[in-house]
């Protein structure tokens, strides 16, 4: 089906595109369809990284092993200029964690500390639960209602294909701990910012701000949060014992891994494509973001296999994204003033791409339209021409660098995101290939023509 559409569309698209100074759309369509059919580079990378390294929390020795693995892998794949740009960062690590309702209905609950959580100490803390259905409700409460208690926020996230609610739904995680601390709370537990119903809490970063003292801050799994609501409905005081033994281990090194497909004209600005190499510590970081680094590198490799692009393609596997975009900010500090032809990042799982947005500027409108044409045959709709986003590349896009977003279907992303369940089995190889096909097509258009390697003549 996709194949038939592709063929039909290429015929239709051939003449208008040919009038631009753009790469041959038939050739780009061929690269795209070959990736859709048989890409194995992306699977090979994400399978290898999640198996041979596994979890790789930013700034830890596991992330350092991931960088070693990455350098070896990208070198073996034939990329040029493979290097690590190191940077320092503060590191927080998880320890023992448990939660237990002491009264009125004794039972264990499943909890995970949020990033930068304070520690309860190994003995834990015990306190009465005070419940709110949003951060705003917590904010509106008098300090006296919160002081010395364990705040519980029951804010439910719903699944959407574009993940639009993450900013809004994430407020209890990002702001809740600070607000609770400033009101004198003993600790805070939130309903996980997630859309599943498994006993796997969703961790994620938060930062105590405005001078708030760190307090223990955790996420209950969604079934546990719903259980808490049912228990609270009985109207009796609810007491919880909470153990979250996490700690700040000081400044450690992280780094960005960079590799290139050198362009024929090294004076032209590079195309920057990437994802992030670090992951949360409980899963193996398959959808977040093993898939992303795999997709970006696989597409670049496919262009490399096809020949030599006019422009350099720079692959970047950012370090320390999860805990505060440290890798993206370091790259920006080093290279953000240099011209870039486009920035693209994959960091929303491995499900199919359904939309392309771009922010290449009015002068490059025909190039942006060409992207839409070469992506349409694999089910991708053209969205906006004035917009692009990305996690690590976000600050540079905000600075005005040009960018492209290949938007993935995120309907099931927040079922898995930041949980122990982020493992390889959650990746659908066929959808992963569609991602690589889209990225290959985009790189085919942006690369400014690919010069095929000279082959010996047939005799």
Q: Residues in the site for a second copy, rule: CB under 8 A?
A: 47, 50-55, 62, 101, 104-108, 110, 197-200, 222-223, 226-227, 230-231, 234, 282-284, 419-421, 423-426
Q: Give the nearer residue to a second copy in terms of CB position, either 228 or 356.
A: 228
The burial of 181, by beta-carbon neighbours within 10 Å (0-12 exposed, 13-18 middle, 19 or more buried), is given as: buried
Q: Return the number of the residue (74 or 231) whose C-beta is nearest a second copy.
A: 231
Question: What minimum distance in Å lies between the beta carbon of 421 and a second copy?
Answer: 5
Burial environment of residue 171 by CB neighbours within 10 A (0 to 12, 13 to 18, 19 or more): middle
Q: Which of 347, 406, 348 is nearest to 379 (CA)?
A: 406
| Other beta carbons within 10 Å of 105 | 12
* 367 contacts: CB under 8 Å, gap ≥ 6: 20, 22, 360, 445, 446
The residue (of 112 and 119) whose beta carbon lies closer to a second copy is: 112
Q: For residue 219, with 0-12 CB atoms within 10 Å meaning exposed, 13-18 middle and 19 or more buried, which class applies?
A: buried
In angstroms, give the least distance from the CB of 414 to a second copy.
15
Rounded to 5 degrees, φ, ψ at 376 are -55, -40
Nearer to a second copy, 121 or 361 (CB): 121
In the complex, minimum distance from the CB of residue 338 to a second copy, in angstroms, rounded to a whole number? 37
CB 59 within 8 A of CB 116: no
Which residues are CB-neighbours of 298 under 8 A, at least 6 positions away?
35, 39, 41, 42, 45, 436, 439, 440
Closest residue by Cα to residue 100 from 179, 233, 206, 189: 189
C-beta of residue 257 within 8 angstroms of C-beta of residue 316: yes
Structure tokens at 54: 């596994």
Q: Give residues with Cβ within 8 angstroms of 170, minimum separation 6.
A: 193, 204
Half-sphere exposure of 245 (CA within 13 A, CB side): 8
- Rank residues 228 and 300 by Cβ distance to a second copy and give the closer one: 228
User: Catalytic amino acids?
Assistant: 321
Give 177 or 283: the residue with its C-beta nearer to a second copy: 283
By beta-carbon proximity to a second copy, the closer residue of 66 and 295 is 66
DSSP β-ladder status, 150-153 and 125-132: parallel
CB 57 within 8 A of CB 74: no
- SS in 3 state form for 52-83? HCCCCCCCCHHHHHHHHHHHHHHHHCCCEEEE
**SS3 helix, strand, coil % of the chain, rounded to 5?**
40, 25, 40
């Amino acid at each position: 089906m996709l194949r038939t559409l592709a063929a039909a569309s290429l015929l239709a698209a051939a003449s208008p595109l040919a009038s631009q100074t753009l790469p041959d759309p038939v050739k780009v369509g061929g690269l795209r369809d070959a990736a859709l059919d048989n890409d194995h580079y992306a699977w090979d990378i994400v399978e290898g990284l999640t198996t041979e390294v596994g979890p790789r929390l930013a700034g830890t020795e596991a992330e350092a092993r991931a960088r070693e693995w990455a350098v070896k892998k990208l070198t073996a794949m034939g990329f040029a200029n493979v290097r690590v740009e190191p940077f320092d960062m503060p590191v927080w690590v998880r320890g023992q964690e448990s939660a237990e309702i002491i009264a009125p209905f004794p039972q264990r609950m499943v909890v995970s500390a949020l990033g930068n959580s304070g520690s309860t100490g190994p003995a834990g803390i015990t306190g009465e639960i005070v419940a709110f259905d949003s951060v705003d409700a917590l904010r509106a409460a008098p300090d006296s209602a919160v002081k010395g208690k364990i705040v519980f926020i029951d804010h439910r996230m719903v699944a959407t294909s574009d993940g639009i609610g993450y900013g809004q739904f994430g407020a209890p995680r990002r702001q809740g701990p600070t607000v609770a601390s400033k009101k004198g709370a003993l600790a805070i537990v939130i309903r996980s910012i997630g859309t599943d119903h498994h006993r796997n809490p969703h961790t994620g970063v938060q930062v105590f701000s405005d001078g708030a003292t760190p307090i223990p801050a955790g996420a209950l799994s969604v079934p546990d949060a719903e259980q808490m609501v049912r228990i609270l409905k009985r109207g009796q005081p609810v007491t919880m014992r909470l153990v979250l033994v996490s700690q700040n281990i000081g400044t450690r090194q992280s780094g960005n891994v960079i590799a290139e497909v050198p362009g024929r004209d090294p004076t032209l600005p590079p195309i920057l494509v990437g994802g992030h190499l670090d992951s949360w510590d409980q899963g193996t970081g398959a959808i977040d973001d093993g898939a992303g680094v795999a997709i970006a590198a696989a597409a670049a490799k496919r262009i490399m296999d096809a020949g030599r692009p006019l422009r350099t393609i720079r692959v970047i596997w950012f370090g320390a994204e999860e805990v505060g975009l440290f890798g993206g900010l370091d790259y920006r500090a080093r290279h953000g003033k240099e011209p870039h032809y486009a920035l693209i990042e994959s960091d929303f799982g491995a499900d199919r791409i359904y939309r392309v947005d771009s922010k290449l500027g009015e002068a490059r409108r025909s190039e942006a339209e060409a992207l839409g044409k070469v992506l349409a045959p694999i089910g991708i709709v053209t969205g906006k021409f004035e917009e692009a986003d990305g996690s690590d590349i976000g600050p540079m896009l905000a600075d005005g660098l040009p960018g492209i977003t290949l938007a993935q279907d995120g309907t099931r992303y927040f079922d898995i995101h930041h949980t122990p369940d982020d493992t390889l089995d959650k990746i659908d190889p066929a959808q992963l290939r569609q991602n690589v096909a889209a990225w290959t097509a985009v790189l085919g258009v942006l690369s400014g023509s690919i010069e095929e390697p000279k082959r010996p003549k047939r005799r």
